[in-house]
Amino acid sequence: MMDKKITSALISVYHKENLDPLVQLLNDQGVRLYSTGGTLAFIKDMGIAATAVEDLTGYPAVFGGRVKTLHPKVFGGILYRREDEQDRQQAAEYDIPAIDLVVVDLYPFEETVNSGAGPDEIIEKIDIGGISLIRAAAKNYRDTLVVSSRNQYDELIDLLATGNGTTTLAQRQRFATYAFAISSHYDTQIYNYFNQAGEYNFFKESILTTHTLRYGENPHQQGWFYGHLEGLFEQLNGKALSYNNLVDIDAAMHLMAEFADETAFAILKHTNACGAATGATVKEAYEKALAADPLSAFGGVLIANRPVDMAAAEEIHTLFFEVLVAPDFDEDALTLLKGKKNRILLKNKGDLTGKRQFKSLLNGVIAQEKDLHTDSPADLQTVTERAPDKEETAAMLFASKICKHAKSNAIVLARPGQMLASGVGQTSRVDAVQQAIAKAQRFGFDLQGAALASDAFFPFPDSIEVAAKAGITAFLQPGGSIKDQDSIDFCNKNNLSMVFTGKRHFKH
């Protein structure tokens, strides 16, 4: 028999908010209620009769409430198969009543960890009885309906009202599927808490919040985002974020994290910066960033790390762009920028967290620590006879911050506080150098005395020779080639400066 009439229910929840309409409906439909502790008191305060689980089992809650529902009369009532003759006989023999509906809201383990609570409080928020009830009811979905989250109360009320207390097999299976999602997520959070020291290197990630995107990378692909965007951004204007928007915004956020102590602006296309700069104001930083490649900036993702005022907004407004991210917007600036209805404006509310990144490949997952190293003056080892001067050093370090976030092979040309051009995603380093020089010259930059940063070592001195002919005088690279000395010798013969950082910044 596929349809089942609910005649009894066990309700044991941590949060009582919005529970009363469900309890009232079950009572109105003549359902016998079983409950525990605070939930039992809540139901009785509504003037509705309910049987204490202790009265069903003959055992009180013990060990400070750690054991309440773990008893054959409870789990037998959930698990026994109504169509199985032997199960029915045993239920009758041991006086085990059928439990057709289980409503459980687990102890808030994840929230307790995030609150900064101490170990004792966290451990006590590991639900044992609740998670067991969920698994039992989900396993026996042919006979029992399980509600494993308070987020399902409204759906359950609609289902019971429409079906007059009767559920179908498909409905019960759907609720069971959700229940196993809840239980597996819960266990993942517990594992990750216990494994903070990294003793076990298992891949365990779970996110229950899902955003369906308009499409994936291309219109014929479906796309989803799993996570809490509302914790990072408040969308102030524009259409729904796309898959590609999110990828570019992530790249923009990581890049902008390099400039916490300076007013900075960056413009990105396909995760690469086509312009980046610092300035005394947001307007100045934007204008310097745009100058690097005003052509590629069309349709780009823009990011500022200081509030956007009217002076900056008036300049930015003239550009067609997809997304602008900023920590805030002056009221008049926001009004102006909202003039384009599809333009996405995001108020950044938080920083990126986590020190690991991963992606799927080869029927598995690859993971690594994030590249959180930013090249600093302390990393620079001068390997040439001429040391870089103060301006060259500032330019190289600025270029290195951009280069670190560009697709390999990557080359960035810069002066202090301004990216001049980049060559990214090239299959040879000399091609990346030539691309960067051609772009810089195309947009009118004089490269005499400019600096160059490379994400990896130069295998030959040919790239340096090409750059030197364009006027570049200072080079930053990690070093590590068996032919490093050839590059150093070329620099020495041409009065160029070169520093090694000892840190490669590949990005694939």
- H or E stretch covering 186: helix 169-194
Q: Give the CB-side neighbour count of residue 80, counting CA atoms within 13 A.
A: 23
Predicted confidence (pLDDT) per residue in 177-202, tens digit: 999 999 999 999 999 999 998 899 99
Q: Which residue among the candidates 5, 44, 71, 139 is catalytic per the annotation?
A: 139
pLDDT of residue 1: 55
Match 């102006």 to its residue by tokens.
336
A 10 A CB-CB count for 241 gives: 20
Residue 493 is among the residues annotated as catalytic for this protein: no
Residue 276 — φ and ψ, nearest 5°?
-160, 140
The answer, yes or no, to whether residue 77 has pLDDT greater than 80, is: yes
Identified catalytic residue from 270, 317, 340, 503 = 270
- How far is Cα 96 from Cα 178, in angstroms, rounded to an integer? 27
Please indicate whether residue 285 or residue 55 has the higher confidence score (pLDDT): 285
3-class DSSP state for residue 267? strand
CB proximity list for 313: less than 8 A, separation 6 or greater: 329, 330, 332, 333, 334, 336, 337
- The confidence score (pLDDT) of residue 2 equals 85
Closest CA to 35 of 24, 18, 17, 23: 23
- Range 261-281 average pLDDT: 97
Closest by Cα among 72, 82, 68, 76 to 35: 68
| Identity of residue 19 | L
Q: What is the mean pLDDT of residues 55-73?
A: 78
Mean pLDDT, the chain, as a whole number?
94
Residue 100's pLDDT band, with cuts at 50, 70 and 90, is very high
pLDDT in tens, 199-225: 999 999 999 999 999 999 999 999 999
State residue 62's pLDDT score. 76
What percent of the chain is predicted at pLDDT more than 70? 100
Position 218 scores a pLDDT of 96
Burial of 275 (0-12, 13-18, 19+ CB in 10 A): buried
Q: Answer yes or no: is pLDDT of 353 > 80.
A: yes
Domains of the chain: 4-195 (3.40.50.1380), 232-348 (3.40.140.20), 377-500 (3.40.140.20)
Give yes or no: 270 in active site: yes
Residues 164, 251: Cα–Cα separation, whole Å: 52
Residues in Cβ contact with 148 at an 8 Å cutoff, skipping those fewer than 6 apart: 104, 106, 134, 138, 175, 178, 179, 182, 183
